[in-house]
Each structure stands twice: as C-alpha cells, then as structure tokens.
Amino acid sequence: MTRFNTLNATIINSVKPCRSLLAALLLAGPLLGDAAENTAPGYEPPRTPSGKPDFQGVWTNASITTLQRAGRYDELVIPEDQLAAVTAAHPQNVRQATDDNLQAGELLDGSDLAMGRGYNAFWIDPGSSFGRVRGEYRSSWIIDPSDGRIPYSEQGQQLRSEFREKFSSNDGPEGRALGERCLIGFGGTGGPPMLNVLYNNHYRFVQTDDYLMIMVEMNQDARIIPIGGEHRPAELQQWLGDSIAWWEGDTLVVETVSLHPQQAGSGQVNLSDEGKVIERFTRYSDDQILYEFEVDDPVYYTQVWSGEMSFNASDDRIYEYACHEGNYGLPGILMGARREEADAAAAAQ
C-alpha cells in the first residue's frame, strides 16, 4: 500500500462525514478527466491583433495544492486512481465536511479556529481540488528541489527570523504585517510568484502590445509590467517589485527584482538585493495558462528553485476588495496591546 493509500484509509475511516464527499468525488471522476481534452498537442492560442497570444480575461489559481509539499505526500504527482480519496482526506475538505457538526447550543472550543488561522471553514474559499498542471494533479507547486520544499540557507533562515521579530510588534501599525495594514495582499497572492491563499484567488489580465497588467483580487494589487522595457534604478523599491517582460516565442517571460524592503523578507518567498524571480506565462489551453516560476537568490537559498501552476479560466467577476472599510482588526490589536501593558503595570504596583 502506498503512502497515499495508507494516509487516506486512516483519515477517511476516522472521519465519517467525509464519506459522502468521497462518494461525490468518485462519481465526479470522469468529469475531472475530461479537462485533459483541452491539452491536446497542437493547441493554437487566441491571439491579439498584433499576433501575440492573448492572456486577457479573469483567471484563478484557487486550489488545495500549496507552494510547498506537505509531509503527508511523498510524490509530486497524485495518481488519478487515488485522486478522489486523497482529495477527500485533505484537511480543508475534512474541515468543510465537518464544520456544521456542532450540537445546538454547543460552544466552539477554539481548536477549529486554530486549524483555520482564525476562520471557520465557512469563511474561507481556497478551493477544494488539487491543481492540474500539464495534465497531472500535483501535491505542490514546487517541482525543483524534488522534495517540494524551499531550500532556505542558514543565512536566509536567520534573515527571516530577524524580519519576523521586526514586524511582529504591537508598538504601532508599522510593526504589524503588510496584510494587516492593507498595503498588499497576504500570503504572496500578488507575487512574485503569485500564490493561492485562503480566499480571493482571482486575477484579471489586461494586455496591450506594450504592457501586461495583472489586477490581483486581494487588496486590488496591480502589477503593471512593461513589455520590452528596462528596469528602474535599484533605489526605487516598490511593492511587488520592479518587473519587465519580453516574448520568447509564444511565452511571455517576466523578470522581477528590487522588492520593497518590507516585502522582501515576508511570506514564504523572500528576495534580497541580489535576487530575482523569473515567471513564464504560456496559453496551455482555452481554459488554462501554464505559469512557471524560478527564484534565484544566493542570500536566501542554497540553490535556484522553481515551480509551476495553472491559472484556470473563470466566469466570475472580481469585486472591489474592501480592507480598511469597517475593519477594526488593526486598531483592536493595538488597543489590546495597550490594555495588556496597563494590566501588567497595575499588577506590578
């Protein structure tokens, strides 16, 4: 029995509500396989009036596949005959299936909120299926190194630790995380590379001969990327970095350097002044953009590492993302810290 089989037998047998989800996924198996028809050899992408592949539209990378491979998976590719069981056993789908199992009047003990980073399953929308890339279902976006993990160097780990300490204080808003301050979306959703998160995983691509604009649903971040342009002076460090693009055949290649210093050490993907991120966008089918990325930074990592994911076409609309409006989280955090300080001072008297 493979590790996938062992894992799923253990979890599914212990969580009865997941059996209905498993049955539904098994019935949906042929529908999942039909997506492969769009990846037939010889696919011809739609083109702009100037003849370049047209990326315009709304796309999503919502998925339970994550950047790094979780310890419960040994391999990059999930066998299709095990896909339904592995999907049903995924913690997000287990939470979704059991979120309403409380008896009337029963109070939450907080354990579910801890698993969901403060959210019940009802409030998050990361996706419910694994990402399909090049016709394969993947357990991680990272493909190199082969273990699906980011190869942080010792120096990189130290810098990450120092950054977390610097931006985890309650002295003022400047000491809190960028997402809490509504400066950029959390979790790397704006990139580079652009990663799927708990919710708001939609992107609108707008394209001309000279620019690609990617509007990120979360926080309404916008990447305005000149095609054929040159990098700005290194001193101009901006949110989401300094990106330029060029065509290699039917693939649009984007190079990003000079992340804002407050972003460079946050999240999973970090970038020093010596680093760069290369992204490649290719129309893989009518319903998918193949998105490849490579991270090269000798300060944070022991090697160049890379990954790939799919952006899937969506008929959904992207609505305004309101972050500060009606959001009392940040003032509450700071007021709570002041209260703790006052209580500690009173207790010391």
Region 173-189 average pLDDT: 90
- The pLDDT, as a whole number, for residue 331 is 86
Give the pLDDT score at 106: 64
- Residue 90: its pLDDT value, please? 92
For every residue of 140-202, DSSP letters joined together read: BSEEESTT----B-HHHHHHHHHHHHHTS--SSGGGS-TTTTTSS-GGGTT-SSP---SS--E
Q: Would you place residue 332 in the very low, low, confident or very high pLDDT band (cuts 50, 70, 90)?
A: confident
User: pLDDT at position 95, please?
Assistant: 80
- Residue-level pLDDT at 116: 52
Average pLDDT over all residues of the chain: 86
Structural tokens at position 2: 């493979």
- Give me the pLDDT at residue 38, please: 34
Note the pLDDT tens digit of each residue in 225-271.
Answer: 999 989 999 888 899 999 999 999 999 999 999 999 999 999 999 99
- As annotated, the residues of the chain forming the CATH 2.40.128.20 domain(s) are 55-71+145-349
Instruction: Render pLDDT for 15-42 as a digit per residue (tens, 0 to 9).
Output: 333 434 444 443 334 333 333 333 446 8
| DSSP output for 214-275 | EEESGGG-EEEEEBT--PPPTT--BTT-EEEEEEETTEEEEEEE-B-HHHHTSSS----TT-
**Cα-based distances in Å from 188 to 104, 143, 286:** 38, 18, 26
User: What pLDDT shows up at residue 114?
Assistant: 54
Confidence of residue 216 (pLDDT cuts 50, 70, 90): very high
Burial class (CB in 10 A: 0-12, 13-18, 19+), 343: exposed
> Do 308 and 279 touch, CB atoms closer than 8 A?
no
Separation between Cα atoms, residue 242 and residue 66, nearest integer Å: 25
Stretch (H or E) spanning 30: helix 29-33
Q: Per residue in 50-83, is it b (16+ CB within 10 Å) or e — as a string?
A: eebbebebbbbbbbbbbbebeebbeebebeeebb
pLDDT of residue 277: 98
At the top level of CATH, the class of 55-71+145-349 is mainly beta
**CA–CA separation, 270 vs 259, rounded Å?**
9
Per-residue confidence band for 322, with pLDDT thresholds at 50, 70 and 90: confident
Give, rounded to a whole angstrom, the gap between the first and last alpha carbons of the chain.
64
Question: What pLDDT shows up at residue 3?
Answer: 43
CA nearest to 190, candidates 172, 206, 178: 178
Asked if residues 178 and 170 have their Cβ atoms less than 8 Å apart, the reply is no
Question: In this structure, is the dihedral angle defined by the CA atoms of residues 135, 140, 145 and 150, taken in order, positive or negative?
Answer: positive
pLDDT value of residue 278: 99
What does R_g of the chain's alpha carbons equal in angstroms?
A: 22
Structure tokens given for 232: 């700005």
Q: Answer whether 177's CB lies under 8 Å from 266's CB.
A: yes
Confidence of residue 67 (pLDDT cuts 50, 70, 90): very high
Least confident of 30-44, 45-59, 60-74: 30-44
- pLDDT category at 123 given cuts 50, 70, 90 is confident
